[in-house]
């Protein structure tokens, strides 16, 4: 890729910026015992070996002064990455939100300080980007009525169960269950429905964070806002995914304040699924039809937020090549039917203030890499990248020769993905499971099957 900032030795024009994004595959999620990686050579799963290869993937892009976004940055690797980037005059900003299971993983952005001035940096818990209004609470009279019903119900249930019905514990438990059911019914949820399964409550409980930066290109003076995110792995809950996709896009668009912007990372969504993906379509068009099954139905009139964006974004690969990559994540478990090979990673951009000049070349056939990780790809995700030209209304008119080096880029992909067990999903899982979201067709090919959750 061309060096960021001003005109470089490669003839790259002023205001042209290289951006890469890479899901590293946390060292805590890449065990030879994992169902997703049992067919891989254990030597290629060794954490130290993988980390050294990851640095090798990043090195050419630091030479070109690219802005680098990373996902699944474990706490163990974060310190090493700080040292790696500092030695190359980069500032690395990382936000950890995961737990023990996934190595306390998080996301990060590395900015070359000699090429850009850092104007703003922020770590954002995406679920905090909206108010989560509480449903109207029942009146004192209603609560008293609930209690008058709950106590005899509790006594009856206790008697049936052969428990001492009159004990305070049984009564108070019954009050909580029945009163809670009453409140849920008033909130619009059916009787007996566990609100923890409600997409709104589930979305609210996610801890996934975005790292946001605003930079100024030192050579051209142009400004760019950029956020990176790792979407929760919740493909079985499409409404939850729509909520988080909309929230993170809204967060970047709000913070951009008129500047050109980029939102990149592992979104755990395919660009297609039977011709349509609600998240992908919403991100690229700015809205989702309310009649779509994945549209998050408000729990009641008190919830006024909607998954609508100020504008739809362009995907860098679709803009430059007319289609998304064949795949950015490739996992081959023991059972052939569980193989997953599809696109989960994206570089979304504003439609104004910048132009996508070119993108990093990626494999056009599965056989070019084989299942991941491998000896040449240290993650189960592939590193993706784009060159953009900044400059407002004239961005389309300049720097047409500033392109990614396809000769170099062909070998600079890395990849990662994970699966999602509930604990991993909470932090934003990766590859295998995440992939099972639907998507919009951007090329004619059969949709990959959705593998089961990792054990």
Q: Look at the chain and count its residues.
A: 455
Kindly indicate the confidence band of residue 183, based on its pLDDT and cuts at 50, 70 and 90.
very low
- Is residue 188 over pLDDT 50? no
Q: Residue 165 has what pLDDT?
A: 39
**Distant-in-sequence, close-in-space partners of 425: CB < 8 Å, separation ≥ 6:** 232, 233, 234, 433
H or E stretch at 430: none
Q: Residue 392 has what pLDDT?
A: 58
Q: Residue 272 has what pLDDT?
A: 84
Kindly indicate the confidence band of residue 157, based on its pLDDT and cuts at 50, 70 and 90.
low
The CA-CA-CA angle for residues 25, 30, 31, to 5°, reads 170
pTM more than 0.95: no
Q: Which residue has the higher pLDDT, 5 or 127?
A: 127
- Is residue 153 over pLDDT 50? yes
Beta carbons of 318 and 442 less than 8 angstroms apart: yes
Residue 444: how many other CB atoms lie within 10 Å: 7
Q: Which residue intervals of 237-277 are DSSP H helices?
A: 238-256
Q: Residue ranges per domain, the chain?
A: 21-131+208-434, 140-186
Give the closest residue to 185 by CA, choosing from 151, 130, 138, 241: 138
The region of weakest confidence among 161-165, 189-193, 266-270 is 189-193
Average pLDDT over residues 151-162: 58
Q: For residue 426, give both structure tokens.
A: 């909470």
Q: For residue 307, give both structure tokens.
A: 């998954």
Tell me the per-residue pLDDT of 87-145, one tens digit each, with 9 for 90 and over: 999 999 999 999 999 999 999 999 999 999 999 999 999 999 999 998 888 777 666 66
The region of weakest confidence among 11-15, 213-217, 263-267 is 11-15
Tell me the per-residue pLDDT of 423-437, one tens digit each, with 9 for 90 and over: 444 445 544 443 333
Instruction: With H, G, I as helix, E, B as strand and everything else as coil, classify residue 122.
Output: strand
Tell me the per-residue pLDDT of 340-396, one tens digit each, with 9 for 90 and over: 999 999 999 999 999 999 999 999 999 999 999 999 999 999 999 999 999 855 444
Beta carbons of 87 and 40 less than 8 angstroms apart: no
Tell me the per-residue pLDDT of 226-239, one tens digit each, with 9 for 90 and over: 999 999 999 889 99
Q: For residue 77, give both structure tokens.
A: 């690797």
Beta carbons of 453 and 436 less than 8 angstroms apart: no
Give the closest residue to 329 by CA, choosing from 346, 348, 345, 318: 345
Q: Residue 443 has what pLDDT?
A: 34
H or E stretch at 349: strand 345-349
Beta carbons of 110 and 92 less than 8 angstroms apart: yes
CA 134/CA 334 separation, integer angstroms: 46
CA 320/CA 454 separation, integer angstroms: 34
Residue that the structure tokens 């569980």 belong to: 338
Residue 340 backbone dihedrals phi, psi, to 5 degrees? -130, 130
Q: Which CATH architecture has domain 21-131+208-434?
A: 4-Layer Sandwich (3.60)
Instruction: With H, G, I as helix, E, B as strand and everything else as coil, classify residue 420.
Output: coil
Q: For residue 197, give both structure tokens.
A: 């399964």
| Mean pLDDT score across all residues of the chain | 81
- Is residue 262 over pLDDT 80? yes
Q: Residue 423 has what pLDDT?
A: 42
Q: What CA dihedral angle connects 228, 134, 202 and 343, to 10 degrees? A: -40
Q: Residue 433 has what pLDDT?
A: 41
> What one-character-per-residue DSSP string does 357-398 give?
EEE----SSGGGT-SSS-SS-SSSB--EEEEEEE-GGGGGGS
Q: Residue 413 has what pLDDT?
A: 37
Tell me the per-residue pLDDT of 55-82, one tens digit each, with 9 for 90 and over: 999 999 999 999 999 999 999 999 999 9
């Amino acid at each position: 890729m061309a060096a960021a900032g001003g005109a470089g030795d490669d003839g790259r024009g002023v205001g042209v910026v290289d951006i890469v994004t890479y899901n590293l595959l946390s060292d805590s999620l890449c065990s030879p015992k994992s169902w997703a990686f049992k067919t891989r050579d254990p030597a290629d799963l060794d954490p130290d070996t993988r980390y050294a290869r990851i640095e090798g993937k990043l090195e050419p892009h630091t030479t070109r002064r690219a802005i680098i976004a990373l996902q699944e940055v474990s706490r163990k690797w974060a310190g090493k990455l700080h040292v790696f980037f500092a030695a190359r005059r980069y500032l690395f900003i990382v936000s950890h939100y995961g737990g023990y299971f996934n190595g306390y993983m998080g996301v990060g952005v590395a900015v070359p300080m000699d090429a850009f001035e850092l104007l703003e940096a922020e770590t954002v818990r995406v679920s905090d980007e909206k108010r989560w209004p509480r449903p109207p609470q029942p009146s004192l009279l209603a609560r008293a009525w609930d209690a008058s019903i709950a106590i005899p119900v509790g006594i009856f249930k206790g008697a049936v169960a052969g428990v001492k019905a009159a004990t305070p514990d049984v009564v108070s438990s019954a009050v909580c269950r029945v009163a809670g059911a009453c409140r849920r019914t008033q909130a619009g949820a059916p009787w007996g429905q566990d609100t923890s399964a409600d997409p709104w409550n589930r979305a609210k409980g996610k801890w996934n964070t975005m790292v946001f930066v605003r930079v100024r290109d030192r050579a051209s003076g142009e400004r760019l806002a950029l956020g990176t995110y790792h979407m929760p792995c919740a493909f079985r809950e499409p409404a939850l995914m729509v909520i988080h996709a909309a929230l993170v896009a809204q967060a970047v668009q709000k913070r951009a304040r008129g500047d050109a912007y980029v939102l990149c990372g592992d979104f755990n969504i395919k660009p297609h699924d039977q011709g349509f993906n609600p998240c992908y379509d919403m991100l690229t068009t700015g809205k989702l039809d309310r009649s779509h099954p994945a549209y998050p139905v408000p729990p009641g009139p008190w919830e006024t937020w909607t998954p609508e964006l100020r504008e739809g974004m362009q995907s860098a690969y679709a803009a430059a090549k007319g289609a998304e990559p064949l795949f950015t994540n490739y996992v081959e478990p023991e059972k052939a039917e569980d193989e997953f090979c599809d696109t989960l990673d994206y570089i979304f951009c504003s439609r104004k203030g910048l132009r996508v000049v070119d993108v990093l070349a990626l494999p056009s056939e599965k056989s070019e890499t084989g299942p991941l990780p491998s000896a040449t790809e240290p993650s189960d995700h592939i590193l993706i990248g784009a060159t953009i030209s900044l400059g407002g209304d004239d961005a389309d008119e300049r720097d047409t020769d500033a392109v990614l080096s396809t000769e170099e880029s062909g070998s600079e992909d890395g990849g990662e993905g994970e699966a999602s067990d509930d604990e991993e999903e909470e932090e934003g899982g990766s590859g295998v499971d995440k992939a099972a979201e639907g998507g919009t067709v951007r090329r004619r090919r059969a949709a990959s099957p959705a593998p089961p959750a990792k054990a």
